[in-house]
Each structure stands twice: as C-alpha cells, then as structure tokens.
Amino acid sequence: MTSSARPLLNRRLAEFGTTIFAEMSALALQTGSINLGQGFPDTDGPEEVREAAVRALRDGRGNQYPPGPGIPELRTAIAAHQERRYGLSYEPDTEVLVTAGATEAIAATLLALVEPGDEVVALEPYYDSYAACIAMAGGTRVPVTLRPHEGSFRLDLDELRAAVTDRTRLLLINTPHNPTGTVLTREELTTIAELAVERDLLVVTDEVYEHLVFGEAEHVPLATFPGMRERTVSIGSAGKTFSFTGWKVGWVTAAPALVSAVRSAKQYLTYVASGPFQYAVAEALALPDSYFSAFRDDMLAKRDLLATGLAEARAGGRRRHPERRLLRPPGGGRPLRPLRVLQADKRARRGGGPAQGTGRLTATDVPAYVPATRPGGSEPPRTLTPLPPGRPGHR
C-alpha cells in the first residue's frame, strides 16, 4: 500500500461512492423487503427469445469473440427496427454499434465526445451513471430539473435555453424519462432540436424505455427532427424491452462519424460482450407488433396495481395527508410520492410486528426505494421513487 497522502480513488469519482442500486438491493436483502429498488423483472422475457439464445449456444454461434461492432445479424435487425418503428434509415455496417448494455453505450459516447471543460446539459433527476460518466470524461454537468406540473413532471424550455452556454458540448436527453416517466412531447422535442441546431450542439438520447409509453403519450426520437440525424447519438437496450437484463445487450445508432467516435472509446471498455445473446436479440427485434403492445399493456397494469396499492396504504400518506397524491407516469417510469412519507414508514416499523388489519408497513413489508436525488450538491426533489417490477434501473 502506498504511503502517499493522495487518495487512491480518482478525484473525478470521489463524490459518487457505491451506486444507489447496489445500496438499495442490499437493504432489501437485509430487511427481507420486496425489492423495488433495482430494475430487473421477476419473470423472464419471451420463451422464443430465450430458446434463440440456447440454440446459439449449442450451435457455437457467439461463444467466441463476436465482431467488435456487433454481429451483422443484430446490427441489421437494429436498423430494421428503427426503420419500421420510426422511419429512420441506418446503414448496419457504419451507423449501428452494439454495446454491453445501454450503460456502456452511455459511457462510451460521453468518453468519446466530451473533453475536460465541456459542459453537458442533462435533465434531472437522472440515471446515476450519467453524472459519473460525465465526470470520468472531465466534463461539467449542468442540470435542468423536471418539475411537477399538472400531474406529471415537465421540462421548462426557458430553463433549458438558459442552461446552454458557449461551453456546452452536448445535450443529454432521456425520454421516456427515468425515473419520472415523463415523455417529452413533439412541441418540446421541436424546441430542443431547434436549440441544438442553432447552437451547433451534439445530442445524446437515452431511449431505453421507448416501448413503455402509456395512454396518449407518444415516443418520437429526436433524430427524426430536421437537422438532428447528423448530430444525434441514439441509445437503445434489449434488457428493458425484452426483460432479459442480465444479457447486457444495448446499441447506438448515429451518423458514421459519430459511431466511429463512440466505437473508438467502446473498444477499450469491454471490446465485445454477450455473443450468443446478440443472436437472440436479433430475433427478438423482429417480433410482431403484438408483442410490444402486450408488453406495454402488462407493464401498464403493473404500474396501476402498484400505484393503487401505494395510494391506499397508510404509509402512502393518504390518510395522514389527504392533500398529497401519487403521480402516475405516462411512460417507463415509476409512481412518485412525497419524501416525508418515509417518516410514516419509520413510525410504522417502531411497533415491532405487523399491525394486523391496519395496512401499516413494517420492516419486512416496506419496499426498497431508490431516492430521486439530484447529485452534485443541489437540493433533492422531495419525492421517493419506487420501481415497479422490471422498470427502470440498470440498463
């Protein structure tokens, strides 16, 4: 062990510590709680997709290093998915890159495109890897907060404009948003696109919840707007759409120069990963539209079940604070409730055992939550963020 007084951990990472997902999952194990703190499903995805992975393993496809950019079959399937769903045409060999989940896609993109001194404007609250990856790249995180408005969390476009300076390198946009479930409207996206073109900014869009949009909300990729395709890096994930989070298959679609830049960073992270699973995901992306509709309907029912349960529980604050209400996200997010509700949870636990017939939550009943905090010293929103089964969390 070195005797130097210099800390062992790189100073850029000193503020982050252990990821919140690991902390909350450990807490759930410690207390025997239902784990709503990490985004993995309690059931596997489609049987035919799992069997496709088994066939690939048995046939010897992907058991050795796959190509660095991803297997051709998957890159072709990703391009076909973007064309079929959104009318976006990508060349599989030069405009698609397969990654070890969307988290690596985020890391590789920010490491490739951001230099020390660059500012990155990001919507908050946000997936915790954003802040760490910006820091590793030497960039400065500039948060723009989504705020409660008429039953959902909305983006203040004037605040976004004010956050852009001459030092801004890129906008990091997440829609459908994690954790609030906000789905940016066409009008909001139009303004973001116009701002990016006017200020000549790069844009990174995290779209891993693209297939989890409820009601009248609509997911529209920023890359479809005028002037945006050549400046946008779009990120997707199989884990969120097909409920195989452990396979770690994500991707990037962008113009050739952007994909080349991201690949330059990605090749020194994992280089390659998930060989046999890439073949399975290629088949999954070709599933009929009925799969995506059924998946969305199933998650909507789970969202409503959780939201109703929280609203009816004493610890949900409804009886003590009838003026408070739960916000039900229009996209792939989680129902949100006030932070002070934790005090009610703690009071319930002091009684020792379950209070029969009262709906009171105890140490073994309380779900593990991920606080929707705002890293970097800013005041956290006064909300808690419970995650329904399979949504959201690690990509």
What value does the mean pLDDT take over residues 43-59? 96
The model carries a pTM of: 0.82
**DSSP per-residue codes, 242-301:** HS-GGG--EEEE--HHHHHHHHHHHTTTTSS--HHHHHHHHHHTTS-HHHHHHHHHHHHH
What value does the mean pLDDT take over residues 43-49? 94
- Is 62:71 a contact under the CB 8 Å cutoff? yes
Looking at residue 98, its pLDDT comes to 98
Of 226 and 373, more confident: 226
Structure tokens, 100: 């070890």
What value does the mean pLDDT take over residues 110-139? 96
Rounded distance, CA 186 to CA 217, Å?
A: 10
Judge whether residue 320 has pLDDT over 80: no
Per residue in 179-238, pLDDT tens?
889 999 999 999 999 999 999 999 999 999 999 999 889 999 999 999 999 999 999 999
Rounded distance, CA 279 to CA 297, Å?
A: 26
Rounded distance, CA 394 to CA 380, Å?
A: 21
Neighbouring-strand partners of residue 385: 370
Looking at residue 375, its pLDDT comes to 40
Of 287 and 5, more confident: 287
Judge whether residue 385 has pLDDT over 50: no
Helix, strand, coil percentages (3-state) for the chain, rounded to 5, are 40, 15, 45
Looking at residue 341, its pLDDT comes to 32
Three-state SS for 12?
Answer: helix
Judge whether residue 122 has pLDDT over 70: yes
Q: Which residues contact 123 (CB under 8 A, 6 or more apart)?
A: 143, 144, 145, 146, 155, 172, 173, 174, 177
- Is 123:142 a contact under the CB 8 Å cutoff? no
Per residue in 140-188, pLDDT tens?
999 999 998 888 899 999 999 999 999 999 999 999 998 889 999 999 9
Neighbouring-strand partners of residue 141: 120
Judge whether residue 284 has pLDDT over 60: yes
